[in-house]
Structures are given as C-alpha cells and as structure tokens.
Amino acid sequence: MIEAHGISVTIGSRPVLHGETVRCTPGKMTALVGPSGCGKTTLLHCLGLLLPIDRGSMSINGKNVTGYNTAERRRFWRDYAAFVLQDYGIMDEESVAFNVTLQASLFGRRVTGDLERMRQALAKTGLKGRENELAGRLSGGEKQRLALARAIYKDASILFVDEPTASLDPANRRKVIDLFADFAKQGRTVIISTHDAEMIDACDRKHRVGLDNSATDMPKSDQTNQGGS
C-alpha cells in the first residue's frame, strides 16, 4: 500500500504538484489521469521514490518513507519495485535476454538468473524467441513490451507504469492491459499513468492529478461523472 498525503513538487521554478493525496492499494490497478502536463508522470515518479517531494508525506506498507535517503530508496527499488517508464530504460547495445534479466544481474554483463522464467516473460509480452536479438533493433512498441517483460521477470510487488500502451497496436494493447490486470489479481499494487480510455476503464481506481486532492482515488463504479483524460 502506498499512501501520499498532500504532496507538492516544484521543478525548477514551476510548481507541478499541489498537495496530491492518493492511496494505491495491493490487488488494485490505480490510474493516474488528467490532461497532458497536469503532472501524472511527476506524481508516478514521486510515488516510486524517483523524485523527491517538497511538501507532504508518504508511506509505503505503513512505513514512513518521506525522508528516505539514497540507500533506503535503492533498497526499496531493489526489493519491491518494478518500473516501466516512458524511455523504457532499455540498453540498446545489449541483447533482449540481458535486458529482461538486467535488474537481477545489475552488476554483471551477462544473462544470469532463471532462463526459463526469462523466456516465459518474453512469451507473455509477444517477444517469444527474440532473446538473442540486439535490443536496439527493436521497434518502439517492442521496446515497450521488453520493458514490461523485465517487470514480469522481476516479480515485484509494486509496479510503476508510465503510458504503457502509447506505442502499441490494438492487439498488443489488449494483451498488455490484461497482463496488468493479472498482476493486480495476484495481489500486486499497480500504478499507471495513462491517457488510454481502455486502460483507464480496466483500472479499479482512478486519481485525477490536479483535481482530486482531497477525494483521493475512487472505485471504478464512481468514475462516470469524473471524466477521463
């Protein structure tokens, strides 16, 4: 469970988040929604401890993480978190297989870990049999699915996802949405910044960045009058 209370962030001289309060619970997909530039990515980064907050407080699984130092944040990323971010974090000069197992073999330059599980993660994202290809040769959508395969492989309890369907065709989009739904059903916390109406509809809760500062997230059935992005 991630809880953020009244968090505010200024980047440079620009105030971006103004007292966001949001709760993301295990077993649920929470969508961060709102118009372009409202701060969805910024909020996602704050919740994942990638970006420091200026005001407010945050807890993860009941633990106050507001003042976490670098070592504590690293431990959180290592033990609990998987990220599928907009730049995908793919190492172009490495193989697909290396990229999937990257977080498990962070200090090595070779594929370590469970090869069968790596292949299964690739199969789940439609990249079966591509493990020996150079990641840099994949298309944008394929890189996005590769980032997702890495998150599946990592088996993390909290997933932070930024615009996961942006570069995907309808068939792969559906597949990816179903994969996140499966993640949540397994009891994981899934937090997704998205504009995609189909993705938003599949989420259990949604938080409108910049507007819902007191209401926090809400059940899917209450979304009808709240608008999408």
Ligand X SMILES: Nc1ncnc2c1ncn2[C@@H]1O[C@H](COP(=O)(O)OP(=O)(O)OP(=O)(O)O)[C@@H](O)[C@H]1O
Q: The tokens of 140 are what? A: 């944008």
User: What is the CB neighbour count within 10 angstroms for residue 36?
Assistant: 7
Q: How far is the CB of 13 from ligand X (least distance, A)?
A: 9
- What 3-state DSSP class applies to 65? coil
Q: How far is the CB of 140 from ligand X (least distance, A)?
A: 15
Q: How far is the CB of 185 from ligand X (least distance, A)?
A: 26
Cβ-based nearer residue to ligand X, 127 or 161: 161
Cβ-based nearer residue to ligand X, 47 or 152: 47
Task: Find all residues with CB under 8 Å of 204, minimum gap 6, and list them.
Answer: 28, 29, 30, 184, 219, 220
Q: How far is the CB of 56 from ligand X (least distance, A)?
A: 16
Place of tokens 């809880």: 3
Cβ-based nearer residue to ligand X, 54 or 79: 54
Contact between 18 and 174 under an 8 Å Cβ cutoff? The reply is no
Q: How far is the CB of 166 from ligand X (least distance, A)?
A: 9
Which residues make beta-bridge pairs with 176? none
**CA atoms of 2 and 158, how far apart (whole Å):** 9
Cβ-based nearer residue to ligand X, 143 or 154: 143
- 14-24 vs 63-64, strand pairing mode: unpaired
Cβ-based nearer residue to ligand X, 36 or 224: 36
Name the amino acid, one letter, at 62: G
User: What is the CB neighbour count within 10 angstroms for residue 72?
Assistant: 12
Query: Which residue ranges make up the site for ligand X (CB under 6 A)?
Result: 11-12, 14, 16, 34, 36-42, 193, 195
Q: The tokens of 71 are what? A: 């070592």
Cβ-based nearer residue to ligand X, 41 or 125: 41
Q: How far is the CB of 75 from ligand X (least distance, A)?
A: 25
Contact between 192 and 29 under an 8 Å Cβ cutoff? The reply is yes
